[in-house]
Structures are given as C-alpha cells and as structure tokens.
Structure 1
C-alpha cells in the first residue's frame, strides 16, 4: 500500500513539474517574441534573457540553443495564425470572402511585426511555419466547395507559397510611393487566386490531381 501511495505521489509531482515546465517554456517564448519585435532579428540570447528577467543559462535550459527558441516562438505565432485564420473563415459569408479574410489576416500579422516574422522564417531555415498553414487554408475550401480533400490540399500548398512570396515582397518595399496598401494587396491576391485555380476547382468539383 505504501509503495502505491509513493508511486502516486511521484506521478503527481512529475505531472506538476511537466505542467510547470510547459508553462515556463511558453512564458519565455512569448517574452522572446516581444524582445525580437523591439530589438530586431539580430538580437542576442543575452538580450532576450535580460528582457525575460532571467539568465541566459535558464533560457538554454529550456531551449538548448537559439534554433530551439526560434522553434518555440514559431509555435506560439503559428497558434495565433491558426486562430486568426479559423476565425476569419468562420465569420465569412462565402468561400471568396473567407479567402480574402485569411489573406488579410496573414498580411496584418507580418505587417505588425516584420522582425518576428523574419526571426522565425528567414533566420531559421527549415522551420515549418508556413507549411503548417496549408491545412488551415485548405479545410474551409474543401468543405465549402465540396472538392476532394487532395485537390484542396494541393491548391492550399500553392496558395500559401504564393501569399508568402507576395507578402515578403510587400514587406520589402512597404511605404514606398505607389506601393499597395495592405487592403489593396489583400484584394489583389484574393482576385488572382480566386480567378485562377480556385474558380477551376469550383467548376470541376470531382476532378482529382494525380501524380505522373
């Protein structure tokens, strides 16, 4: 009986420690995100630790290295993007409006903090931030337009890459004369995507894309 009680106590302590570690890790990742937003992508781990009110050794204890920290920040940002895109799609009255809302939400995110965006993409090659957006973008269209999931997924992969490339071009030249506003670019991207493959998918709902 004593051994069972001790085991349960150990399990309870282990669970509480894991919960504490997860919460602390998220807390540090969010602090790092704010620090990057303020100080830029070249920020050192010392500055991040100081901004978080802790030591660099504590940061390394939770993330091992800077890439690990970038991954954690990317996960937090991705969660926000998921929520924003899902919310945008749910509030829209039509699939086209959902597309526009999702594009605008994405552009708003990168416009708000280019430093954070580049910290988790350009400065950390291989992080699957944008790849994980594919499913978020594809699901509403697979449901609303009744197209095969494979077709929607293929389109979403191309659409996310297109939006990412266009968005990064926009960030590079933002503020220059005759450069489109976020609203103008969101409208253009929506039109380009909608009048291209999306419209075709809507017309041929049962056509499947097969690999050669």
Structure 2
C-alpha cells in the first residue's frame, strides 16, 4: 500500500509556490527599473533576499529566467487571445481585423515594457557567465520558453487564418502562414525597438497587417476560401 506525501511536507507547497510568484514579481519589477542587463545580485537585492534563496526556489538563473518568461507569456497570450476574439466578434473587424489585433497586442507589450521584452527575447541574464546554484529538474531538459511562446502565438494566428480556409491543404497552409506572420512581426518588432525612427505602434501595426494580409489574400484562393 502506497503512502501519500507527509502532510507536514505537502502543506508547504502553497507557501513555496506563493514565494516563487513573489520572487518572479520582484525580478520583473527590477528588470523594468534597472534594465534588461540586470544581474542576479541586483535581482536578489530588489527581492530583499539572497541569491542562495532564489536558487533554492528556481535551481539556478536559467530556472528564474524560465519562470519570468512563463509569467510574461501568460500575460501576452491572454492579451493576444482577447484582442483577436474581440476583433472576430466585431462585424466591422473580421479576419483581417483579428490579425491586426493580434499584431497590435504583441507590439503593445514591447512598447509598454521594452526592457522586459529585451530580457525575455535576448536572454542577457543567461549570457552573464555559467549559471550557479543547484539545477532543478526542469533545467536538465531543453525547455526554451521563448520558442514555446512563439509557437503558441503562431498556432493562435493559424487558428484565425484557418477559419477562412477549407479543403485538404487548408490546415497545413494556415499553420505555415500563421507562424510566418509571427516571424515577420518579431523581426520587425526587434528592429523597431533597437532602431527607433519615430514610427508609432499604430503605424507599425498597419504596415505589418497590410504586408501580411496582402500575402494571405493572394495565397488563400489556392487552398479554397470558406464562403462567407
């Protein structure tokens, strides 16, 4: 007969998870205040603790980085899904409006949180020398939270595109085009952030939507559009 975990041990799970959430929130606040190049010493100081305590909860700096990425991904996915759903529900928006709304939600994160975006996408914390601390079980694998996020967003855009297509090639085409749009947006967004030239988020959204939708409009007939 198997014996469950000792209640004296399991009762601390909620406390540990709460502490992890607090440390991630403190780290995100420090990144916003001090910039994407922040180090572990500064993050620990902002959290009012030590690196040893952080490593105890996350294994090492890659574990903390992954947790921060997961937090950012949750917010971004919620915003992209909400924006595309609202656009699809609006009779004046339609599918083009849904693509535009998804692009704008992505760019809005960059505009409102540029240092946090740099931290997540360019991984400066992981380039500051070898990680220290005890590695947790998740860090022994090949988890890449940024690529995971890009994949999920690509799937979201593909789902929007897929509602316009039918035929055997429809699902495959929607997936390819959805992920191509995410790559397009990410590349342009990185340049927009790195080399500002006065282009507004709204204008960039329009440019990217025009480019993406022109391509989709030209290609969609080859896989048969759903009759509206």
Q: Same fold (TM over 0.5)?
A: yes
Aligned counterpart, 2:206: 187
Q: For each residue in 1:92-137, what CA deviation from the matched residue of structure 2 results, as whole angstroms up to 9, or x when unmatched?
A: 0311101111111111101112211111111258542423321122
RMSD: 2.3
Aligned counterpart, 1:210: none
Pairing 1:158–2:180 present = yes
Whole-angstrom CA distance in 2 between matches of 1:69 and 1:181: 33
**One of 141, 150, 168 as aligned partner of 1:130:** 150
Aligned counterpart, 2:217: 199
Alignment of 1:47-62 (within 5 A): 47-62=42-57
**One of 79, 82, 85 as aligned partner of 2:80:** 85
Whole-angstrom CA distance in 1 between matches of 2:83 and 2:34: 30
- Specify every segment of 5 or more residues in structure 1 that has no aligned partner in the other structure, as ranges: 208-212
Q: For each residue in 1:117-161, what CA deviation from the matched residue of structure 2 results, as whole angstroms up to 9, or x when unmatched?
A: 11111125854242332112222222x313433221111111111
Give the length in aligned residue pairs: 197
**One of 162, 169, 175 as aligned partner of 2:191:** 169
Whole-angstrom CA distance in 2 between matches of 1:122 and 1:191: 27
Give the structure-1-normalised TM-score. 0.83
8 Å Cα contact 2:99-2:160 kept in structure 1: no
- Specify every segment of 5 or more residues in structure 2 that has no aligned partner in the other structure, as ranges: 128-143
Aligned counterpart, 1:117: 117
Q: Give 3-state SS (helix, strand or coil) of 1:146's partner.
A: coil
Give the structure-2-normalised TM-score. 0.78
Aligned counterpart, 2:134: none
